[in-house]
Amino acid sequence: MSGLRVVPGRRGGRDRLYVCRPDGSRIAWYDRAAGRVDLLAEDERDRVLDVLKPFLTGPVAVGPPPVPTAAELARLALHPDDDLAPNRPGEALLIALDRDPDTGHRLRPDPRRRALLAEQTVGDVLDGLEGAGWLALHSLPLPGGDRVHHLLIGPGGLFAVHALYARRARVRVADPMVTVGRRAAEPLLRRLRAQADRAAYALTAEVRPVLALTEPSGVTLTAAPRGMRVLSAGELPGLARLGGVLKPADVAALHAMARDRRTWEKV
C-alpha cells in the first residue's frame, strides 16, 4: 500500500481530486476538466499516478503546477475579509434571511425567497460558462446599500447581470420601465444602467448591463432598450459566443480587481 489517499475538493469553481499523505499534506491534485495532474513532489510521480489510476479519464498532462500569474499572486495576497470571490449567488439575501427569517405565510410569501431563487438560477448559469473562459462574481456590494447581482467577465467584455424573478409571468419592457405580470411598473433599466456605470468607474473598463429574467411566460419589448440586453436565464449562455474584447490575461486582471471589496468602496 502506498499510504496515499484521494480526497475530493473544489478550487476556483472546479472539482479536484487531491492526493494526500497520511499526515494530510497534499502532494498532488487532479483537475479532470483541465486533464492535468499537478505534482508538488516529482519523486512521488509513480505513487500518485497509481493511486489516481481509477479516476483518470483520457490522456492527462503530468507536471509541476504552472507558475502563478501576476493576477493570481495578487489574489493570494488578498485578505479573506476583502475577497468577494467566495460570495454565493444571492449572498446578501441568504445573509438577510438567516438574520431575519420569513414567517412562511402561505398567502403572502416572502418576496426575498423569489428574488433569491432568481439570483441562484442566473448565478448557476453564469458559473457554468467558466469552461469557455468566463469568470463570474456574485452579490457585489455598492456604497449606499445597492449591489450588482452578478458580474460576468470574459472574452466578450464585462456584463453587470441583474436577475429578476418572472416565473409564469408576462414581462413588458418600455424603457426604462419594466412590468412583471400584474405588478406595478418600475424604472428598473435606469437603475441597472446606473449600476453598470458605477462598475465601469470602479474597474476603469466598459461594463454593459443585462436584465436576466427567470422563466417568463413571454416578453414584450416596445423598442430595443438602449445599451441593454434583456435575456431569459436560458439565453445567457449565448454571451459565451461573444469575443474579441478581452484577452485571457485581461480577464484574469479584471477579475482580480473586481473580487477585492476595496475596489467598490468609492463608486
Separation of alpha carbons 262 and 239, rounded Å? 28
Q: Yes or no: say if 196 and 231 are a contact pair by the CB < 8 Å rule.
A: no
Separation of alpha carbons 89 and 240, rounded Å? 19
| pLDDT greater than 90 at residue 1 | no
Separation of alpha carbons 30 and 219, rounded Å? 44
Q: Model confidence at 220, in pLDDT bands (50, 70, 90)?
A: very high
Q: What's the confidence (pLDDT) of residue 23? A: 75
Q: Which residues contact 8 (CB under 8 A, 6 or more apart)?
A: 15, 16, 17, 18
Q: Model confidence at 103, in pLDDT bands (50, 70, 90)?
A: low
Q: Model confidence at 67, in pLDDT bands (50, 70, 90)?
A: low
Q: Yes or no: say if 211 and 188 are a contact pair by the CB < 8 Å rule.
A: yes
Q: Model confidence at 185, in pLDDT bands (50, 70, 90)?
A: very high
Q: Model confidence at 255, in pLDDT bands (50, 70, 90)?
A: very high
Separation of alpha carbons 53 and 72, rounded Å? 30
Q: What's the confidence (pLDDT) of residue 34? A: 85
Domain boundaries, the chain: 5-62, 70-263
Nearest to 254 by CA among 207, 196, 210: 207
Q: What's the confidence (pLDDT) of residue 134? A: 96
Q: Model confidence at 72, in pLDDT bands (50, 70, 90)?
A: low
Between residues 215 and 105, the one the model is more confident about = 215
Q: Yes or no: say if 140 and 187 are a contact pair by the CB < 8 Å rule.
A: no
> What integer best gives the mean pLDDT of the chain?
90
Q: What's the confidence (pLDDT) of residue 232? A: 97
Q: Model confidence at 190, in pLDDT bands (50, 70, 90)?
A: very high
Percentage of the chain surpassing pLDDT 90?
67
Separation of alpha carbons 101 and 103, rounded Å? 7
